[in-house]
Structure formats: C-alpha cells, structure tokens
Structure 1
Amino acid sequence: MADKHLSSQFDSELNGVSTRVMELGGLVESQISQAIFALSQFNAEVADQVIATEPKVNAMEVQIDHDLSSIIARRQPTARDLRLLIAISKTTANLERVGDEAAKVARMVKAIIQSGASRSLPASELRVEADLASGLLRKALDAFARLDVPAAVAILKEDDLIDQEFDGFVRKLITYMMEDPRTISASLDLLFLAKAIERIGDHAKNIAEFIIYIVKGADVRHASIEEIESAVR
C-alpha cells in the first residue's frame, strides 16, 4: 500500500512537470508566431513583445529543472522513469533555445527596421521555411504529450524539408547579392534570420529523438533514418 501511495505521488509530480513543459511549449510557439509576424510585416512593436517574453521562458526552464532535480533526489526513479525525467529536462532546454531563436529573429527585425533596409528585402521568401519550422515544433510537442514514436520518426524525416528550404533560400540570396552588390549587407541579415528559423526545426527534431529515447531506450542522435526505423521496430 505504501509503495502504491509513493507511486501515485510520483505520477502526480510527473504529471505536474509535464503540464508545465507543455505550457512552456505553448509560450514558445506563441513567440515563434509573433516573431514570424514581426518579420513578415516588419513590425517593431510585435518584435518587442517577443523579446519581452524571453525572461518568462528562461524562468520557466529554471523552475522545471529545479522540480526535476527534486523529484530525482526524493523518488529515486526506475530506469524508464529516469529516462523520462532526463528527456523532459533536455526537451525543456531545447524549448528555451527555440525561444532564444525567436528573440534573435525579433531583435534582427528591429535592427533591419532601424537601418531602413526593410523595403528592399525579400523577407516573404522566408515564410515557407518559417511555417515548416513552427509546424514541426507543434507536431513535436503533440508527439511528446502522447509519447508517440511513429509521429517522432515522421518528424525526423520532415526536418529534411526545412534543410532543403534553407539551402534553396541561400542559393537565392547568393544570386541576389551577385546581381546587386549593394544588397550584400541586407542579404546577410536575411541569411542569419533564415539560419535562426532553421535552428527551430533542429530543436523540434531533438525533441522527437527524446521521445524515442523515452519509449524505446535507444539513443538515436546522429543516426540515419534507416537506423532509427530499425531501432523503433
């Protein structure tokens, strides 16, 4: 009976932490959405809102990590539960970094607006990559909530689309700069924006890898899709 009581307490604490992780994910998703809007409209006010959210994201990461450390110290979890706690911690860190990337986009948007170069930039070209990255993060959070391994594998495959979009955008920028060297500075700003968006997709991919680690106990970082599919069978 005592063991059951301890188990129910552990489950309650774990559910509480998981809920806060999803809240953090929702906050970061909102940051991305606002950052992309700020970029597409060159809206400094919305960019400021993204930047203002960053301290809250950081504070949530610190609190979640504190709670996880407390659970590990008091509950001495089993191997599978420990994998879950470690993966939650790493997922939280990746969500915080997504928030960093969103804030980076917002700061760069403000710098572009202040430079007066906003009208000459083909920022709309970034929309496809941005939509792919934000959609991938949403799928990763949904898969994490359900510990859905097939969905995680699908996310890992889909990340290639963002990489392809990024590579295509870089090629367009190179052509843009070659045709008019006066656009080099502005094009480099766009390149850094595109890289920040691409990194959001990378963090979503990391979360998908943690799902597989939790459920299957397999560390699939740096593994090929073929190796990953073999590991989850």
Structure 2
Amino acid sequence: MNQQKLNKHISGQFNAELEEVRNQVLVMGGLVEQQLSDAITAMHKQDLDLARQTVARDQEVNALEVEIAEDCTRIIAKRQPAASDLRLVLVVLKTITDLERIGDAAKRISRMVIDNADQPQPPLVSIENMGRRAVSMLHQGLDAFARMDLTAAIAVHKQDSQLNRDYESIVRELMTFMMEDPRSIPQVLKVLWCVRSLERVGDRVQHLCEYIIYFVKGKDVRHRSDEDIYNLLD
C-alpha cells in the first residue's frame, strides 16, 4: 500500500497492527483465488480429488475470516481509530466478508463436480472461460487492494459487464441443452446454480473495488450508477 495513504502514529505498534490486518486480507485473498481457480479446474477436468480438496480448504478460509475480524474488533476497541484509519478497518471487515462468500462459491462449484460425477455433462468449455475471467477479476481486484489504486479498482469494476454477458450466453446454452435432452435437467440445474455463483463472484469483486474507492476518496459509492463511479477519475 502507498504509505502516504496511512497515517503515521506516535505508537509504532498501531501502524504495525494496521499493516498486519491489511496483509492478512491479502493472504486470505490469495487462498480464495487459488480455491476458485482449483474449483474451475476440477469442473473442467472432472477431477474429483481436486474438488474434494477445494471443499476441505474452505475451512481454512473461514478460520482466517474469523481471525481477521477479531483483530479488527481489537483495533477498534483499543485504538479508537478515526478518519482514514477507521476507513481502512471498515474496508477490511467488508472485504473479508465478500472474500469468504467467493470461497463459498468455489466450494459450491466443487460440490457440483462431486455430485454430478458419472453423470452426462453439459458443455463446460464456455463455463471454464467464464470462470477464468472471474479468477482474473479477483486477482486484479486484490492487486488494486494491495496498492489502494483507484484507477486499477475502477478498471476492474468495469470488467463485470463482460462477465454478465458470459453468464447470459451460458444460460441460453444450458437451456438449449436441457430442451434437447430432458433427462439432463437435474444435472444442468446444478450447473446453472454454479454459473450463477460465478456471476456473483464478479459482483463481489466489484464490491471490493468500491471499498477501495471508499478508502481512497472517502465516498461510499455502493449504490451509485456505474457512470457516477467512473467519473471519479475525471
């Protein structure tokens, strides 16, 4: 993070605590990114072992969320942060919630792989491409968080529109698949739910970008139009 964005305090320990929770978010983000990437790989390759490993790893993500939240609570109670320090703590708390839910999406995809094993599968190439786009968005969003980069955050925010188009296209493909083979409906419905989860990953990454904007600009843009958000760069 640009050190100019963080206040310098008489207590060096306070600086260390703020930096530690920020670093913990990046560790959690790296775990979630790997979890999502592995879930996509498990789906594409029908790799049951990798799917099971991805499901099991969710406990590690959940534990880290609890640990970071407890650290933030201690900072608020002990340091009573104000201004940008308080914004940072709030951003961390909000970010870990969205990261945990992205982890849940990866777990859901992996469970679908396990549940649909040995069943006729709908075409998954387009879904893999969508999944890789979601992973890329998450990676770029975390990189923007690490640097608290407003320009990068807005650039990532814009990518969600393409993910939404991917989602709509895949839904049409899967609907056609079900009409052509009604026996596939139970399996395809599970796949549809996972595709919806991927679409929601894009929304979660957008939230992350909005938290970065909040920290840098001090403006809550969660319910603003995309145009209003993108105009912040002007």
* 2:33 equivalent to 1:29: yes
Change (3 A) 1:4 1:40: closer
Q: What residue is the counterpart of 1:98 in the other structure?
A: 102
**Pairing partner for 1:42 from 40, 46, 49:** 46
Change (3 A) 1:168 1:14: same
Alignment match of 2:81 (pick from 77, 81, 95): 77
Distance 1:18 1:120 in 2: 41
> 1:201, CA displacement in angstroms?
1.4
Matches within 5 A, 1:141-220: 141-220=142-221
1:121 is displaced (CA, Å) by 2.1
1:55 maps to what in 2? 59
What whole-Å deviation, never above 9, does each CA across 1:142-185 have from its counterpart, x for those lacking one? Answer: 00000001111111110111010000100111222222222222
- Does the 8 A contact of 2:9 with 2:15 survive in 1? no
Query: Which 4+ residue blocks in structure 1 deviate beyond 3 angstroms?
Result: none
* Alignment CA distance shift 1:120-1:55 (3 Å): closer
In structure 2, the residue matched to 1:125 is 126
Distance 1:60 1:219 in 2: 26
AA aligned to 2:86 is L
Q: Cα distance, 1:229 vs. partner?
A: 2.2
Q: Distance in 2 between matches of 1:83 and 1:5?
A: 19
Task: Give TM-score scaled by structure 1 length.
Answer: 0.93
Q: Quote the residue 1:10 is aligned against.
A: 14
State the shift of 1:232 in Å. 4.6
Deviation at 1:69, TM superposition (A): 0.7
Q: Number of matched residues?
A: 227
Contact 2:122–2:177 (Cα < 8 Å) also in 1: no
1:66-121 deviation digits (Å, cap 9, x = unpaired):
001111111111222111110111001111111111111111110000xx21x432
State the distance in 2 between where 1:231 and 1:208 align: 13
What one-letter code is carried by the residue in structure 1 that aligns with 2:10?
H
Cα distance, 1:218 vs structure 2: 1.0
Distance (Å, rounded) in 2 between the aligned partners of 1:139 and 1:99:
17
**Contact (CA 8 Å) 2:22, 2:92: kept in 1 or not?**
yes
Distance of 1:162 and 1:201 partners within structure 2: 7
Any conservation in 1 of the 2:130–2:163 contact (CA below 8 Å)?
Answer: yes
Change (3 A) 1:76 1:176: same
Q: CA 1:10/1:160 → structure 2, altered by over 3 Å: closer, same or farther?
A: same
Structure 2, unmatched stretches of 5+, are: 1-7
Unaligned runs of 5+ in 1: none
Measure how far apart 1:209 and its partner are.
0.5
TM-score scaled by structure 2?
0.93
Q: What is the distance in 2 between the residues matched to 1:188 and 1:125?
A: 16
The answer as to whether partners of 2:58 and 2:107 remain within 8 angstroms in 1 is: yes
- RMSD of aligned C-alpha atoms? 1.4
